[in-house]
Amino acid sequence: MQPRTQEFSKLAARALGDTQVQKALLGLQTGFDQARQRAILELTPEAWDRLRDRAREIRRHTLERLDYYVGLLADNVVRNGGAVHFARDAHEAAQIVLDIARRNGVKLAVKGKSMVSEEMALNHLLAANGVEALETDLGEYIIQLAGETPFHIVAPAIHKSQEEVAELFARKLGTPEGADAEALTRIARETLRQKFLQAGMGISGVNFAIAETGTVCIVTNEGNGRMSTSLPPIHVALMGMEKVTPALEDLGVFYRLLPRAATGQRATSYFTLVSGPRRNEDEDGPEQFHLVMMDNGRSRLLADPELREALFCIRCGACLNACPVYRKVGGHAYGWVYPGPIGAVVTPAMVGLPKAVALPFASTLCGACREVCPVKINIPRMLLKLRADAVEGAPGQRKASWYEGLTFRAWGRLMRSERTLARARGVAVFLQRPFSRDGWLQKMPLPLFYRWTRGRDFPTLARRSFHELWEDELRTSSPQVPPLR
């Protein structure tokens, strides 16, 4: 998938005009976000906070010794009878999966939900080489049929109404028109069940990978994850290298955080631990187990002390549900795999800041993402750092335009001098007159002002400033009121 990250404004405008998307986004707030809050209250906010601190400690410890834990994980996977593959980037990772498929004559692969496979654009590469890759998570299956990308990290098809899905199934699968949700789910299940039995390869994501045991952990709400990892003769698990965690007991922390933060559940319906291929004494399970560990820009994040924290992410999606920008524009506006506040941080590391420069600016910096994050990731601080990099960064990266630079230098001078600010305010009150209507400023000239006002209305500057009004107040009120400076 080619990133469309440079088209943020255009895609956001399209989402704002789409009534179905707006309805779905409203549902995210009343659904996931409120369920998350209830789950935290039930656990008690104090216990929740202690878990978050512990999770941060584990993530910090792990990332400081990432090479050691990745090595330990790889050794233990091999000891368990599996194979480990390292990939520098998404293309290399996808090629590894294709090679495994080719070596084993695989023509059909069933896939569990995996954001890493979206980074790799794996389905396209496999399809182009004669291997059908079928999504088996219901949401992913719907968007695969629709030829779209995930709208949300944990709910990929949440933007689609039941009617749209019924119409899609009728068009693509020849099902009766107007089927209800139960019928649609039954149709999907019947279609997919045959595929699980026919597939030569199952592909899954990895929520956590335990270094000390060589085990991968998969957290799902549909049985498809377990079917994909246990029915086909080959299981390929895909992970970003930051998913490693030192010990099995760490799951006691992360598994209490992830479902609650994501969907407000105490536990998900399925929680699968895979430690290699089938052993002699096992009744079933895959004959081969492959673990693909991908870098794809994660080393860049790791090397930057100001951005490293982004690798703490456990992909719960809570920051999306809380973000006032995501809540209006949805996931497709971000133009690539990872939407929302965390997407605005990790996408520039993966596709390059010049291609994703709009994303760090797609935030109000309100801090809601940090508040809800189960690992307390300071996303606003990282967005500010990326904005600074975008403006002052290395050659080839975005530089502020001359008028932007001039404006902010002038702004800096104004804010340092009370008298100059008062004079400039007086001039601005005079200059705004031709552009103000009924107390509002609309569509001002000059690129900088035009860009600020074409989509926003500003109240006009008041004739008298608060400072002046306060001084009037002081003159007429009690002498004990302190002066305003």
Interface residues toward ligand SF4, by CB under 6 A:
261, 313-319, 342, 372-375, 377
Cβ proximity to ligand SF4: between 261 and 292 the closer is 261
Cβ proximity to ligand SF4: between 214 and 317 the closer is 317
CB 25 within 8 A of CB 327: yes
Cβ proximity to ligand SF4: between 91 and 266 the closer is 266
Nearest approach in angstroms of CB 281 to ligand SF4 is 38
d(CA 428, CA 410): 13
Nearest approach in angstroms of CB 164 to ligand SF4 is 26
DSSP assignment string, 82-143:
-EEEEESSHHHHHHHHHHHHHHTT--EEEE---HHHHHHTHHHHHHHTT-EEEE-SHHHHHH
Residue 137's closest CA among 69, 210, 202? 202
CB 244 within 8 A of CB 66: yes
Nearest approach in angstroms of CB 381 to ligand SF4 is 13
Task: Determine the residue type at 118.
Answer: E
Cβ proximity to ligand SF4: between 387 and 425 the closer is 387
Cβ proximity to ligand SF4: between 244 and 372 the closer is 372
Q: What is the largest CA-CA distance in the chain?
A: 92
d(CA 287, CA 234): 6
d(CA 66, CA 245): 9
Give a three-class secondary structure readout of 165-230: HHHHHHHHHCCCCCCCHHHHHHHHHHHHHHHHHHCCEEEECCCEEECCCCEEEEEECCCHHHHHHH
Nearest approach in angstroms of CB 374 to ligand SF4 is 6
Cβ proximity to ligand SF4: between 100 and 372 the closer is 372
Query: Is 86 exposed, middle or buried (CB count within 10 Å of its CB: 0-12, 13-18, 19+)?
Result: middle
Residue 373's closest CA among 293, 441, 309, 426? 309
Nearest approach in angstroms of CB 218 to ligand SF4 is 17
Nearest approach in angstroms of CB 312 to ligand SF4 is 7
Sequence-ordered list of residues with C-beta below 8 angstroms from that of 231, at least 6 positions apart, any chain:
110, 196, 197, 199, 202
Both tokens of 344, joined, read: 């605005």
Cβ proximity to ligand SF4: between 125 and 241 the closer is 241
Cβ proximity to ligand SF4: between 238 and 318 the closer is 318
Nearest approach in angstroms of CB 317 to ligand SF4 is 5
Q: Are strands 270-274 and 215-220 parallel, antiparallel or unpaired?
A: antiparallel
Nearest approach in angstroms of CB 315 to ligand SF4 is 5
Cβ proximity to ligand SF4: between 277 and 341 the closer is 341
Query: Is 215 exposed, middle or buried (CB count within 10 Å of its CB: 0-12, 13-18, 19+)?
Result: buried
Nearest approach in angstroms of CB 210 to ligand SF4 is 19
